[in-house]
Amino acid sequence: MRFHQSTTELFIPDGLEPEKALRRTTHMAISAHQDDIEIMAVEPILSCYQQSDLWFSAIVMSDGRGSPRDDLYKDYSDEEMRVVRIKEQKKAAIVGEYANLVLLDYPSKAIKDAKNRQPVEDLQLLFNATRPRFVYTHNLADKHDTHVATALRVIEALRHLPAAERPDKLFGCEVWRSLDWLLDSDKVAFDLSKHENLQSALLGIFDSQICGGKRYDLATMGRRKANATYFESHGVDISTGLSYAMDLTPLILAPEKEIIPFVQEHIQRFAHDVADRLTRVG
Ligand SMILES: [Zn+2]
């Protein structure tokens, strides 16, 4: 396989030959940075864990050079930071028993440049080699530019696939900005009640980010618990952990569908819900 970046790396934790390792993929997550996948898409990791017929592949788009640093890492150069973050992502791939980890190694600005076709072409190559049934990426209402750009590149690559080869589902998941605001009827809720130990282990690996001054590990487990408790105001908690996603599948089933109005419709339904309640009890 020939990727555009000479530094792109394919890491296969169990050492299977690349063609077979990629082809076994059933679930795939594509993120902007190292650690985003473990924050936003642990559901497919857990679904595939210790299964012989379900396999999870992770694609990380960026090189991780520009991340904030502190503590142990405060004097690290951008290149040293890149190396640490790659090492951390590989550790997560081993702990989570991923089928494949692909580190595309693009600078953030290349991902954010809509005219640069290379990231999309690399994703097309990967979709052709893997044909996942379920794809997870960032949601389109995230507040980090590189995250939103990643989601747009994923949608574009999937739209180029022949209809029969497109995945069954595309989910936009939460990192920077929760999806609690979505109407319950618009939410995809993933039950993360099980394997909390494994969830914590996967989040805790990314020491360079946590040491950067942000407890992503605690915040992410906390968000999962908060989502579960605040999902239903009546009745007892059914699950002890939930993460939310926006269902982006309509955007790949109808490739001509306009993206901005699709997202705005979700926001409009939220706006109407708030106004309706105020009118009802006002
Ligand atoms: Zn990120």
pLDDT tens digits for the chain (282 residues)? Answer: 899 999 999 999 999 999 999 999 999 999 999 999 999 999 999 999 999 999 999 999 999 888 888 888 889 999 999 999 999 999 999 999 999 999 999 999 999 999 999 999 999 999 999 999 999 999 999 999 999 999 999 999 999 999 999 999 999 999 999 999 999 999 999 999 999 999 999 999 999 999 877 999 999 999 999 999 999 766 666 899 999 999 999 999 999 999 999 999 999 999 999 999 999 999
What kind and span of H or E run contains 282? none
Residue 235's alpha-carbon distances to 228, 230, 239, in angstroms, are 12, 11, 12
Tokens linked to 6:
């000479």
Q: Tell me how far apart the alpha carbons of residues 149 and 153 are, in angstroms, rounded to a whole number.
A: 6
Cα atoms in the Cβ-side hemisphere of radius 13 Å centred on 75: 0
38 alpha carbon to ligand 1 midpoint, in Å? 10
Q: Which residues contact 100 (CB under 8 A, 6 or more apart)?
A: 10, 11, 12, 21, 22, 25, 57, 58, 130
CA of 61 to the centre of ligand 1 (A): 10
Q: What separation in Å is there between the alpha carbon of 145 and the centre of ligand 1?
A: 9
pTM of the shown model? 0.96
Measured distance CA(198)–CA(230) in Å, rounded:
23
Could you tell me the distance, in angstroms and rounded to a whole number, from the CA of residue 35 to the centre of ligand 1? 7
Backbone angles phi, psi at 120, to 5 degrees: -65, -45
For residue 32, the CA-to-ligand 1 centroid distance in Å is 5
Q: What is the spatial distance between Cα 203 and Cα 215, in angstroms, rounded to a whole number?
A: 10
Instruction: Give the environment of ion ligand 1: residues with CB less than 5 A.
Output: 32-33, 36
Beta strand 100-106 with 134-138 is: unpaired
State the Cα–Cα distance between residues 252 and 153, nearest whole angstrom: 12
C-alpha of residue 235 to centroid of ligand 1, in Å: 35
Residue 54, classed as helix, strand or coil, is coil
12 Cα to the center of ligand 1, angstroms: 22
| Helix 78-95, helix 196-204: angle, nearest 10 | 160
208 contacts 175 by C-beta, under 8 angstroms: no
